Chain A
């Protein structure tokens, strides 16, 4: 923090300024383009109309559930990756990160291969034993979203766990706190910023999910048609509604970033 008032820019070569400006322009121009297309007067009506509001409602519910699943499953996994030495750990980490780099459509095909009712590895069994069909169901949307969101949470939480000074937890142990209590009272508090950041990116990723969802859960109005799917289909039949929905997604993401600023970006700089 003490370095902040150093001669700012004195050593910055010109190409950095040019490059950075271009990068910023490259990122912002499409957003301006989107905002320009939104028909502000009719935005409320467009977003509250039948298919659009159904899609928004479905998106909010499924993305929240998917994020909760990612949190419950991701936290222990991040713990193992950050704190337990075992052979092949880097291999496991690479596998965990795979859905981040996999094209989402491929992720959807993979999910079909595992949970598809007619030809998935365990999909038929799930249906026969529990009567559970994930494809074409809102639960399938949750599965697709959690699949792509989980690695983002694991990555954020793992790096958070690594950055915690072990002496805090050690001293808590010497004070007689058991493992669970230690986790709740010490680790979780120190981890909170990374946890919030992880939850936020995982949720944003789940909310924006397209490829895995349409491939695995299908595109059924009011059932599996999430907002990104609705945007894509509405672009042809009702562009105004598509732009309005896009704006709502954009606004939600901006709100998340602003909310995260204090807990994540602010503290690191």
Chain B
């Protein structure tokens, strides 16, 4: 409730643009599979969506995009897929699990996370080579693929024997926040969400990547109307304001 009130006061234009008076007639379930890096933003989006669509029971299923894609392909019931990259969504298009072209709804970048006070004085991607242990996402997880691109663009090579691989972005960041990893390369939004436990170091855009987030309804969904309504909400101005408040950028 408090969060909602604070958000509403932060977003006067959005609230005025779409006054929440009408209550939709939508009913039933809505299962949304979303990338771990969307956890906070989608939890809030779902909360606001429910205010208008009181009849819809929203279930959020977070995981690494690659895991979620595998779940959908093996028939796990899901109405919407929101991925942290477009490559994984294209796999769903290729396998026929998505029939419409996925919509790009947000953009993210990568940042370095270190322990509070930056004890190892990390200033750049190149400084990572001098550290003992680096946390990166799994090689097939989008944040792991993006981290590899960052390292390649920066011309930095880190021995695999110094890399601990997290199963998703939150687990990867946790290796720095709660464990003994010296640094992690994760999404900028996750660094700011965890600002009590880690400190972020920006990666210059020449070395950085543009992580594009895509969303699409799943073929064979039992709740296509609900799925369409939620996707429209994410793409609406109100939805964008919520995403923006969590640090996402315009695609």
Contacts and interface: CB of A to CB of B under 8 A. Distances in A.
Interface stretch (B102-110, B177-185, B211-219): B177-185
Contacts, number: 68
B180 A236 contact: no
B45 to A, nearest CB: 26
Interface string B151-169: 0000000001111111100
B140 A222 contact: no
Contact of B140 (A112, A117, A136, A236): A236
A135 interface: yes
A21 interface: no
A106 interface: no
Interface string B94-123: 000000000000000000000100000000
B133 interface: yes
Interface residues of B, number: 25
B139 interface: yes
Nearest to B115: A118
B67 A236 contact: yes
A112 B167 CA distance: 18
Interface string B197-239: 0000000000000000000000000000000000000000000
- Grouping DSSP codes into helix (H, G, I), strand (E, B) and loop, the A interface class, with mixed when no group exceeds half, is loop
B181 A218 contact: yes
A214 B179 contact: no
Nearest to A222: B161
B171 to A, nearest CB: 8
A133 B180 contact: yes
Interface string A199-224: 00000000000000011101111111
A237 interface: yes
A219 to B, nearest CB: 5
Contacts of B160: 220-222
Contacts of A215: 179
Across the A-B interface, the 7 shortest Cβ-Cβ residue pairs: A218-B164, A135-B180, A237-B140, A117-B180, A236-B140, A219-B165, A236-B66
A220 B163 contact: yes
